[in-house]
């Protein structure tokens, strides 16, 4: 048996329950110490939605507001995503939303100690993979919308480039299941864009592709 602390193992698998559905997963994830990110984060931010969701949207990781509130996509990027989904013809209330990584990774900015998002490493994404696999197995969505490069790499490997495949329908084997995926940019990138309106229209266009698949 290893003498390492759980977070030094970089593997969430020992914390994932074998049965119990989403409530059991959410409860167990709150105690996850599968990587060091749990040490600085306020709390685990697990996925939200129900087991009947036809579409699962997967982002990178919780942001500052998500970390404080314990819910995914409740900050500015989440509000923009809800607006884009509705405009594309997908009811946000009918979707399951989650992240590839369940804890907020950040650096502290001086002098106000503002928490600045920092992208998770491949090792951290891999460590958190068992949670995402468990969510997919329970929800069994008809379609996965991949939000941004980090989520794409977590699902499809390090060679994934969102700019090359955004707005297209992919079929891949993911965690032992045949999945259909539509990649697009993360909504936070729209908020950072110089031409925000053009970036937003591009996001809506990609989500319209997802809506057509679901229809």
pLDDT of the residue at 190: 98
* Total number of residues shown for the chain: 215
Pick the CATH number of 6-214 from 3.40.1170.20, 3.40.470.10, 3.30.43.10, 3.40.50.2020: 3.40.470.10
pLDDT of the residue at 215: 93
pLDDT of the residue at 3: 64
pLDDT of the residue at 191: 97
Q: What is the DSSP letter of 121?
A: P
Determine the Cα–Cα distance for residues 146 and 210; give it in Å rounded to an integer.
10
Q: What is the enclosing helix (H) or strand (E) of 189?
A: helix 187-192
pLDDT of the residue at 112: 61
Determine the Cα–Cα distance for residues 193 and 45; give it in Å rounded to an integer.
26
* Interaxial angle between packed helices 196-214 and 76-88, expressed in degrees from 0 to 180 and rounded to the nearest 10: 50
pLDDT > 90 in the chain, percent:
88
Which residues in the chain come in under a pLDDT of 70?
1-3, 109-112
Determine the Cα–Cα distance for residues 4 and 1; give it in Å rounded to an integer.
9
């Amino acid at each position: 048996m290893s003498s390492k602390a759980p977070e030094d193992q970089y593997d969430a698998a020992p914390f994932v329950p074998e049965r119990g559905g989403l409530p059991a997963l959410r409860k167990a994830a709150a105690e996850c110490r599968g990587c060091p990110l749990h040490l600085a984060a306020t709390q685990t931010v697990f996925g939200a939605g129900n087991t009947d969701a036809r579409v699962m949207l997967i982002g990178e990781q919780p942001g500052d507001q998500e970390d404080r509130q314990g819910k995914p996509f409740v900050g500015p990027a989440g509000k923009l995503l809800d607006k884009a989904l509705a405009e594309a013809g997908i009811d946000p209330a009918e979707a399951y939303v989650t992240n590839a990584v369940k804890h907020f990774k950040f650096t502290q900015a001086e002098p106000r100690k503002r928490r600045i998002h920092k992208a998770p490493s491949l090792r951290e994404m891999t460590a958190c993979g068992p949670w995402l696999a468990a969510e997919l197995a329970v929800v069994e969505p008809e379609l996965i919308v991949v939000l941004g490069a980090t989520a794409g790499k977590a699902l499809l490997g390090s060679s994934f480039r969102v700019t090359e495949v955004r707005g297209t329908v992919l079929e891949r084997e993911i965690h032992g299941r045949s999945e259909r995926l539509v990649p697009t940019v993360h909504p936070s990138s729209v908020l950072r864009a110089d031409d925000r309106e053009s970036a937003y229209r591009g996001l809506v266009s990609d989500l319209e592709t997802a809506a057509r698949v679901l229809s």
